[in-house]
Structure 1
Amino acid sequence: MPKAPFPPPLLYLTFIAVAIALSYALPLPVPDTSWTRATGVALIVLGQGLSFWAMLRFKRQATSPSNFEQPDQLLQHGPFAVSRNPVNLGDTLAYAGIGVLLSSLWPWLLLPALIAIMNRAVIRPDEAQLEQQFGDTYRQYCRRVRRWL
């Protein structure tokens, strides 16, 4: 069964580090105002709140949130009723918030590559594992709930 080659938080942190490095090496500034800072903080809080809510659901259902372990249950309620990947969605919102706070265009230019890598290297292997493990129940869930939003 294909597994994610690395933990998703490491991928997000790597992209943030690259964005910061590029922001210093080749500045592409965007406006930095009290409104943009508040928006950045709100995105981080919203994103991490969503991620923590999803992680709490994993804990309460006593199943693994790890991309490296097989889950015992298919979660379909709470944040999983809105997104099949609420932790990744939350981390992406937090990444966007950090991007706003960096006042640089680089995080936004890197975002499509981050999403593409997440889809290919993390989410698709997870989906293959879940489909093999939960079969029709997972396929029906996929028809009801979108991958991201």
Structure 2
Amino acid sequence: MRKPYFILPAPLVYVAFFILAWACSIVWPLALPSNPWTWFFGWSAIDASVLLVLWSVWLMLWRKTTLNPYGKPQRLLTEGPFRVTRNPIYVAMTLSYIGGAILLADVWGWVFLPAVLFAVSVGVIRHEERILLEHFGDEYRQYMNKVRRWL
């Protein structure tokens, strides 16, 4: 089994970039308009991301497969949120990051979003896909052809 490109787990990638965005917003503020709707949409995105993570984790535990992205998968999940995206937990983390960027009300959260998505796609998801291809072969290839990586 090959080692991943990055040592840091995906949640730390999201947190590190968000902290960088927050720090940049303090040093070089590029404020966006903020109003009560900003709080509503920001917290709604975060709430939706928590629900999506809980649903995905519950399904993984129920189907007795690993939550560890570097562990050996026991079962290929194609139900629940996995019918819509191959990576519902990373979609949820992205939604949470977006919610935080809305709450931050500064350009920097949005500036770093493409870097976050690139880092997770190249540094985490590609590694996971190699593992899943090794374990599930054609079954995973068919799933990849039917379901998108993100949305």
TM-score (ref. length: structure 2): 0.96
1:39 has 2:38 as partner: no
User: Cα distance, 1:3 vs. partner?
Assistant: 4.1
Q: What is the number of equivalent residue pairs in this alignment?
A: 149
User: Cα distance, 1:12 vs. partner?
Assistant: 0.8
Where 2:77 maps in the other structure, the secondary structure is coil
1:2 has 2:5 as partner: no
Partner of 1:126: 128
Runs of 4 or more above 3 Å deviation: none
TM-score (ref. length: structure 1): 0.97
Pick from 84, 87, 98: which aligns with 1:82? 84
Partner of 1:106: 108
Q: Distance in 2 between matches of 1:136 and 1:48?
A: 32
Q: Distance in 2 between matches of 1:98 and 1:133?
A: 36
Gaps of 5+ in 1: none
Is contact 2:86–2:149 with CA below 8 Å preserved after alignment?
A: yes
Alignment root-mean-square deviation, CA: 0.9
Is contact 1:3–1:122 with CA below 8 Å preserved after alignment?
A: no
Partner of 1:95: 97
Deviations 1:46-83 (A, max 9, x none): 11211111111111011101112111111110010010
